[in-house]
Amino acid sequence: MPDRIPQLDDLATAAKETPMLSPAEIRRRGDRRRATRHTTSAIAAVLALTVGGVTVWNSPLLDNIRTPQWAAPGPTTPTTQTPLNPLTSPSQPADPTGSPVAPAVIPPTWANLPTAEIFNARQQAPWVSLVGEFEGEGESGRGYCDPGRIYGTPSTELVRVFGSPEAEISESIWATVLGYPSVERAEQAFATLRDGVANCPERIEQIGKYPNPKGYDNTADLPFDPEWAGGAPTDHAFLTSVGMDPPGEFGGLFSDTLLVRAGDRVLWVTQDVYGPDHNCSIAPDDEHIPEQCLIPAAMQETVETLVK
């Protein structure tokens, strides 16, 4: 027979001494425990659903449900509205770096032509007087060295004619001012006139009276200061031609031509002298010929008048 266990004997004795519950009490207590268990289970279920719902609601899979696409702009949805066909466009500011506007051309007037007083100022006695004036091409040439209308189409063309009161010497001067719409056109006219006047000996020879005429470029001997033109860009030339009478006759034709360009203007002065001589110097203070020729002597006043 196995040995007895004292602890089990004590439990059995205590169980016998403990009063037994009635069947009704046992059922009542059982219902209360089941209700407690059900309540606890329900609370646990609610807590589980709450935690699970929050977890599911925060899931990235439900982003479109939490925030509908119509409620928030997407990456391609513009935040501002721009009309498809705007009625007006914003004005464009002026370009501050635009090219400067060229100054307007001021056409020459009669005040820009030399006068008889200018030509006579440095002479010992009045040498020429005003004969007439006309505008445009005119009906006759301007001296033997007139190359014709080879100087383009100036916007202004004014001509003043002078003559000599001396009966012994036939002398005429044609002073022409030409105004052009641009400096470039004036440069072309100056060059064309210079080349045309340089061919004057050929025209003198065609007259048939003066054998073997000569032409000279005396520009280097002509006194000229660009400051007389008031700072305008300038060109100038002084050309002379000579045709002498045949042997046995005493006389000849002498032609002097001055060309000056100042900006968009060209001054063209031609002097024809027919007589026994044309004894004058181009440069001032010539020790061999004391008197300076008419056009070179009036050079400064003539150029200053051209640009005033």
The lowest-confidence range among 166-170, 240-244, 249-253 is: 166-170
Q: What is the pLDDT of residue 107?
A: 96
Q: SS3 of 58, please? A: coil
Which strands, in side-by-side order, build the sheet including 234-244?
129-135, 156-163, 170-179, 265-275, 252-262, 234-244, 214-217
Q: What is the pLDDT of residue 97?
A: 54
Rounded to two decimals, what is the model's pTM?
A: 0.66
- With cut-offs at 50, 70 and 90, classify the pLDDT of residue 24: low
123 forms bridges with which residues in the sheet?
Answer: none
Q: What is the pLDDT of residues 144-169, one digit of tens each?
A: 999 999 999 999 999 999 998 765 56
Q: Is the pLDDT of residue 193 over 90?
A: yes
- With cut-offs at 50, 70 and 90, classify the pLDDT of residue 10: low
The lowest-confidence range among 2-11, 126-135, 188-197 is: 2-11
Q: Is the pLDDT of residue 245 over 80?
A: yes
Find out whether 142 and 174 touch, Cβ atoms under 8 Å: yes
Residue with tokens 């200061």: 225
Of 71 and 151, more confident: 151
Q: Is the pLDDT of residue 34 over 50?
A: no
| Average predicted confidence (pLDDT) for the chain | 78
Find out whether 223 and 284 touch, Cβ atoms under 8 Å: yes
Residue type, 2: P
Q: What is the pLDDT of residues 98-152, one digit of tens each?
A: 555 556 789 999 999 999 999 999 887 788 999 999 999 887 789 999 999 999 9
Distance CA 47, CA 51 (A): 6
